[in-house]
Amino acid sequence: MPALWPWLWIGFAAVALSGGAASLAQTPPPRLHGTFIQLSQAHGAWSEESWRRLFGYLAQLRSREIVVQWTAYDDTAFYPSTRLSPVAQPPLETILTLADELDMTVRVGLAHDSAFWSRINRDPATVAVYLRDLQARSESVARELVPLIQRHRSFRGWYITEEIEDATWKDERARAALFDYLRRLTLSVRALAPGASVAVSGFSNAETAPATFGAFWTSLLRAASIDVFMFQDGVGAGKQRLSFLPLYLAAAHEAAQTAGRELQVIVEVFQQLNDPSGFKAVPAPFDRVARQIDLAAMYSSTRGPVAFSIPDYMTPLRGVEAERLFQAYVRSRVTAKPD
């Protein structure tokens, strides 16, 4: 494997240099603009060479944007923190450095609480207190991160880690607490890094009509001043079917447009398995992913959709099925009609 990295890096450079020779009549098919990276304890043992191999594959796929889902998970930090317990080899700076080299952008996630989903299913007053605690945690992480991110031109903005869906926030008091939380946190991190945009993601459990879903997000985006609404297509997790997905994509697009915000669709490139022991998934077949990308590109901003997630389900580093998806994507979306 060590010999793989130089080949990937040189190959990417050759592809990039040859792009100008392509015919103007060749319009590249819709592509994934980038990917999420979901950090775990295992990444604390990765060497720089391991990260370079991953970024070599991302470069082959023409990825331009990285979303680091979180930089703190409970009490574990993925950067050199003095307040939390950092992993052995904190990877955030390596990610930013490689993104600098490859002219990619990075959106940096804040703090994540593993108990989030259970804690928000309580009475609204208790939820409001909990959200204030989450705000303090993420603000603390952001303050520690500022000196690090300022060293890297690839840093473009923040990502709020709490995912918003359409089943929990029906109570007006809980919804008001959520909107207040997002508004306060957005203002706080924007002040720490002026010019950096703020994104939050959400999905639909298909428990509300598309119009209701759209109205909820219109209100949220107006109240919280979020810059980018990242809509999870839900296909991999079985929350949406491709036949109904356009209805929710259209509602999300209209909400973002009405509020004057950006919409970016997250394409789930996995297939969740029915396993009672916990979340398990495998790479999805390319024909399904291709249809998701085509739909997502119709509704996303000019930057295009992002994947969840290429590192986990769409590189040769993750096994035969992930390599198969990687190769099919390259043949269909990269080399078929190169830039």
Distance from C-alpha of 336 to C-alpha of 87, rounded to nearest angstrom: 41
Tell me the pLDDT tens digit for each residue of 130-165. 999 999 999 999 999 999 999 999 999 999 999 999
Segment 57-64 mean pLDDT: 98
Higher pLDDT, 92 or 25: 92
Tell me the pLDDT tens digit for each residue of 200-239. 999 998 888 999 999 999 999 999 989 999 999 999 999 9
- The CATH fold assigned to 30-334 is TIM Barrel (3.20.20)
**How high is the pLDDT of residue 337?**
63
Distance from C-alpha of 168 to C-alpha of 120, rounded to nearest angstrom: 8
DSSP class of residue 140 equals H
Per DSSP bridges, beta strands 281-283 and 262-268 are unpaired
Q: Where are the alpha helices (DSSP H) in 150-244?
A: 172-192, 210-224
Say if residues 130 and 157 touch (Cβ distance below 8 Å).
no
**How high is the pLDDT of residue 93?**
98
3-state secondary structure of 163: strand
Judge whether residue 248 has pLDDT over 80.
Answer: yes
Judge whether residue 26 has pLDDT over 90.
Answer: no
Sheet holding 72-73, edge to edge: 85-86, 76-77, 72-73, 111-112
Query: Amino acid identity of 84?
Result: L
Q: pTM of whole model > 0.85? A: yes
- Residue 207, CA atoms < 13 Å, CB-side half-sphere: 9
- What residues form DSSP beta bridges with 197? 157
Q: Nearest CA to 330 among 32, 38, 49?
A: 32
**How high is the pLDDT of residue 199?**
98
Structure tokens given for 337? 């009609």
Q: Nearest CA to 107 among 315, 262, 322?
A: 262
Cα dist. 303→17, 30, 65, 170 in Å? 21, 11, 9, 32
- What residues form DSSP beta bridges with 106? 66, 155
Distance from C-alpha of 165 to C-alpha of 102, rounded to nearest angstrom: 34
Q: Nearest CA to 161 among 55, 328, 8, 36?
A: 36
Distance from C-alpha of 80 to C-alpha of 92, rounded to nearest angstrom: 9
Q: What is the mean pLDDT of the chain?
A: 92
